[in-house]
Amino acid sequence: MPTSYKGKKSTLSIKSSEANKPALTANEVAFDYDIKQGYANFTREEGSKASIDLPYSDFKTTLSGGRWDFKKKFVQMRVAPGADSTKAYFFSTKEEQKGLKFRGTTGQYDLSRYRLVAGGVPYIAAADAWITPDSSKVYVLGSGQMRSFQNAGIVMDTLSKFHELYKGQIEIKSRTSFTGNALYSYQNATADSFAIKFANFAVDSVAVKGSLANVGKGGGKGLLGGKKENIMSPLAPPTVAVANIQAADKFKLAPRVPYRGNVRLNSQRKGFIFDGQARLDFSSQPSASGWFAVQDSIDPKDMRIKLQDLTSEDGSPMLTGLFMSGSTAKLYPLFAAVKPDVTDLNVFRVDGTMRFDAKKRNFTIARHDADDINIYEGQVLKLDDATGVMNFRGKMELIASNKDYSLTAAGVGKAKPDSNRYELDTFMAFDINMPEKAIEAMAADIAGSIKGAPEALDGSQNELYKLGEFIGSKAVQSYAARKGSYVPCKSCLLNCCIPWC
């Protein structure tokens, strides 16, 4: 009695304990069946497009063939020598996995447990992401359940590749969804790295509703471009995820700028949405800064944070600048914080957008581009990260005005708050309700005291900034263009209809 058989254009079917449900079926194969040696080799016929079916795993594969070991109850599947391995796929046959598939070069099938181990897997496409197994292996248990990955990489989306995550604990549900968590190496404005843990991966429900509405109007081809195979379609809805950062994590958007709260990832958008709180630790005094709301996208290469109309949790305004205590008459700084006493004098206030220059390592707060050489008006504060020195310019409030005495001031200043040192260089305009003879006496006194003093108008940049708050940028530009010939500053002010000149 022969102990081996060979055949072509055959169907190899491995029985299971269940009637009419084979453990494995390979159609259109050539086989070599050796009972004595305890194995059977099989190879798909040339030109055939038949697959190997694994009913208990709810998968099929286009691998070329394999070797069935009778004693070990094990089937080793592979790509035939010389065949194109990039065309070898594993396909899920479960409807709820929505066409899940991935490439692979080998397959090990345990007939005793119906467990499939696919090898040589570069990645798995799920939603608009690529999930990369750390061992290039995918374990499929009974009923098509894929074992969770413990150290997977994630690239998303598959077109722009904006985000790469690592150490992913990921469970792939279907072609269109996966869950789990993974780390992202975030580099802030000074390239300091922080590991952010993203979780709750899901398809953006808002984008899905928008796509479905568009399809209903005949304006699109569906979420995946109308073709199930088109797994790279830009019409695929984005994947979103959320990370939660605690203050104890010591995460910083930039030096001196800690952050706490949520970070939202959208696979099809560069950068992240920060939805939490930040603070400006620009002073050694804890009371000089407070946690303020941040709800914006932040580019670490061009960090900008809005510092306008900030309020504390109880609705109190949070201010930035220099202030004078009404009780001690001492100056103190605030950086997005509530004034300890609402009656304290606002010597210098600034708001707008804060930017961080990584090369110069300084912060700038202003409503306009503070480096624009044609702008001479507007509040500007700059702080040097290395020294903590503040340079500022703009309007200033040096006294509390009343109906008989008011002062309008503008200037430039320098401050070292932690050393309690402040310097001001200002233009001041007085509006005083007093007898005419008193004014004449003051004028005579001033005229006498300035004899021999150096020229006050030196044509410096600081002079132009001080003028700018009174006459505007265009008038300052005109004044600067004519300063080669003598132009009295008073005439500039009069021409601009300043009533107190």
Q: Are residues 266 and 322 in the same domain?
A: no
Task: Give the span between the Cα atoms of 307 and 335, in whole angstroms.
Answer: 10
Does the structure show a pLDDT above 50 at 16? Answer: yes
pLDDT of residue 348: 97
- Residue-number span of the structural domain to which 70 is assigned: 1-122
Is residue 139 in some structural domain?
Answer: no
pLDDT over 70 (residue 245): yes
The burial class, CB within 10 Å (0-12 / 13-18 / 19+), for 462 is middle
Q: 163 and 104 in one domain?
A: no
Quick one: 330 and 191 in the same domain?
no
Q: Do residues 488 and 357 both lie within one domain?
A: yes
Convert the pLDDT of each residue in 392-414 to its tens digit. Answer: 999 999 988 888 888 999 999 99
88 with 171, same domain? no
Indicate whether 130 belongs to any domain.
no
* Residue 479, pLDDT score: 86
Adjacency order of strands within the sheet including 352-357: 304-307, 352-357, 362-366, 380-384, 390-396, 405-416, 421-432
- Give residue 207's pLDDT: 67
Among the listed residues 477, 322, 376, 500, the one whose alpha carbon sits nearest the alpha carbon of residue 428: 500
Average the pLDDT over 88-100 and give the result.
Answer: 96
pLDDT band at 83 (very low <50, low <70, confident <90, very high): confident
**pLDDT, tens digit, 9 for 90 and up, residues 145-202:** 999 999 999 999 999 999 999 999 999 999 999 999 999 999 999 999 999 999 999 9
**289 lies in the same domain as 269:** no
Confidence of residue 210 (pLDDT cuts 50, 70, 90): low
Identify the pLDDT of residue 214: 52
**274 within domain boundaries:** yes
CA angle 118–119–121, rounded 5-degree value: 95
Question: What pLDDT shows up at residue 498?
Answer: 45
| 500, part of any domain | no
The reply to whether 193 and 45 lie within a common domain is: no
Pairwise pLDDT comparison (228 vs 373), residue with the higher score? 373
Give yes or no: residues 396 and 458 share one domain: yes
Average pLDDT over residues 296-301: 92
Specify the pTM.
0.82
243 and 291 in a single domain? The answer is no
Q: Is residue 132 part of a domain?
A: no
> Based on the domain organization, do 332 and 414 belong to the same domain?
yes
Number of compact structural domains in the chain = 3
Q: Do the Cβ atoms of 31 and 44 come closer than 8 Å?
A: no
Residues 383 and 245 in one domain: no
